[in-house]
């Protein structure tokens, strides 16, 4: 960390923050992991995954913060993604042994201020369903819940086939076609699934079947981020993806609940849920 002076604000005289850009990815990952160690669903990251998360999701490290107590010890972390005039609040956490001093409120209030300083007029975040302290804090600061999003998984395995669900005609989309499809999409993705995030992350593959398409991310170990042009045909398209990649594990974040039945029929189960919340800045 460099020696730039920490900033404080009124009402929190014993607390201060520094820009996250003063820390290495390694330290940011460590701080984040420490803050989430006792979470309902701990999702630790190493330095590489933290760097990817920041790059893929347009997280602005100069607008993201690490908080400090009166002794100069790190107490928590909060990050801000910025796109157009929208701000995404993410990776918020307070280190367990340093909780109880309204650190979470200090982080959130300062991120709201950072968003305004960057001309954002709209804020959004997701909170894990069941994390009542965080949900109540965000409500108190003006965020309103808008929808429930599911995090779902499917272990490797062949998709069931039937005469009524022939996917043999599925063809691969070219990179140009994938880009064109994403440009034309009409769904309301969460921040993680916005076209900017998908294009930054890369490794996209797409299948076309009878005029409908599905685009997804494929790494060497996992499938993720399924996007459909026609949700009513999602069951067939999901099956087509798993018939093509039967040996890959799948984890899809922030699935809208109206698509759940289609995934469930393909062997998915729900890992946990998030509540998306929005705020006018």
Partner 1 sequence: MNLIVIIEDNPDSARLASRILQRAGFEVIVGDEGELGMEIVLGSHPSLILVDLGLPDIDGQTVVAMLRQHQHLDPVPIIAFTAWPEHTAHEMAAAYGCDGIIVKPIDTRRFADQIKAFLTPDYRSS
The footprint of partner 1 (CB under 8 A) covers: 29, 33, 37-38, 40-46, 48-49, 153, 155-156, 221-222, 247, 249, 251, 269, 271-272
Closest CA to 272 of 243, 258, 251: 251
Tokens 């690490």 correspond to: 66
CB of 30 or CB of 108, closer to partner 1: 30
Rank residues 164 and 221 by Cβ distance to partner 1 and give the closer one: 221
Min dist CB 246 to partner 1, Å, is 11
Of 38 and 176, which CB lies nearer to partner 1 in the complex structure? Answer: 38
| First vs last C-alpha separation in the chain | 30
Rounded to a whole number of angstroms, the minimum distance from the CB of residue 26 to partner 1 is: 11
* Residues sharing a CB contact under 8 Å with residue 65, sequence separation 6 or more, in sequence order: 17, 18, 19, 20, 77, 78, 107, 110, 111, 114
Q: How far is the CB of 46 from partner 1 (least distance, A)?
A: 4
DSSP β-bridge partners for residue 88: 81, 124
In sequence order, the β-bridge partners of residue 270 are 152
Two structure tokens written together for 182: 């994403």
CB-wise, 121 or 269, nearer to partner 1? Answer: 269
Specify the residue, 41 or 180, whose C-beta has the smaller distance to partner 1: 41
Shortest distance (Å) from residue 207 CB to partner 1: 22
CB of 221 to partner 1, least distance (A): 5
Based on CB atoms, which residue is closest to partner 1, 37 or 172?
A: 37
Q: How many CB atoms lie within 10 A of CB 99?
A: 16
CB 276 within 8 Å of CB 150? no
**H-helix or E-strand containing 136?**
helix 132-140
| Packed helices 25-35 and 47-56: angle between N→C axes, nearest 10 degrees | 100
Helix (H, G, I), strand (E, B) or coil at 162: coil
Nearest distance in Å: CB 156, partner 1:
5
Task: Look at residue 207 and give its three-state secondary structure.
Answer: strand
């Amino acid at each position: 960390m460099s020696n730039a002076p920490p900033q404080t604000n009124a009402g929190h005289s014993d607390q201060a923050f520094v820009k996250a850009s003063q820390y290495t990815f390694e330290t940011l990952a460590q701080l984040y992991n420490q803050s989430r160690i006792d979470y309902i669903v701990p999702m630790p990251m190493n330095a590489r995954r933290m760097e990817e998360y920041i790059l893929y999701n347009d997280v602005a490290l100069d607008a993201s913060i690490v908080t400090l107590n009166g002794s100069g010890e790190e107490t928590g972390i909060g990050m801000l993604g910025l796109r157009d005039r929208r701000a995404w609040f993410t990776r918020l956490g307070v280190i367990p042994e340093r909780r109880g001093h309204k650190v979470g409120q200090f982080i959130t209030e300062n991120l709201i201020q950072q968003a305004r300083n960057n001309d954002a007029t709209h804020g959004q975040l997701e909170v894990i369903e069941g994390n009542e302290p965080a949900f109540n804090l965000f409500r108190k600061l003006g965020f309103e819940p808008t929808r429930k999003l599911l995090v779902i998984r499917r272990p490797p395995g062949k998709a069931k086939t039937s005469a009524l669900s022939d996917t043999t005609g599925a063809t691969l989309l070219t990179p140009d076609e994938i880009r064109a499809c994403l440009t034309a999409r009409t769904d309301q993705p969460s921040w993680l699934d916005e076209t900017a995030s998908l294009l930054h992350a890369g490794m996209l593959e797409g299948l076309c079947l009878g005029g409908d398409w599905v685009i997804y991310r494929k790494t060497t170990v996992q499938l993720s981020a399924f996007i459909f042009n026609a949700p009513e045909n999602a069951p067939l398209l999901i099956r087509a993806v798993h018939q093509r990649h039967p040996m890959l594990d799948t984890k899809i974040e922030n699935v809208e609940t109206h698509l759940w039945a289609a995934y469930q029929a393909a062997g998915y189960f729900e890992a946990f849920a998030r509540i998306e919340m929005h705020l006018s800045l």
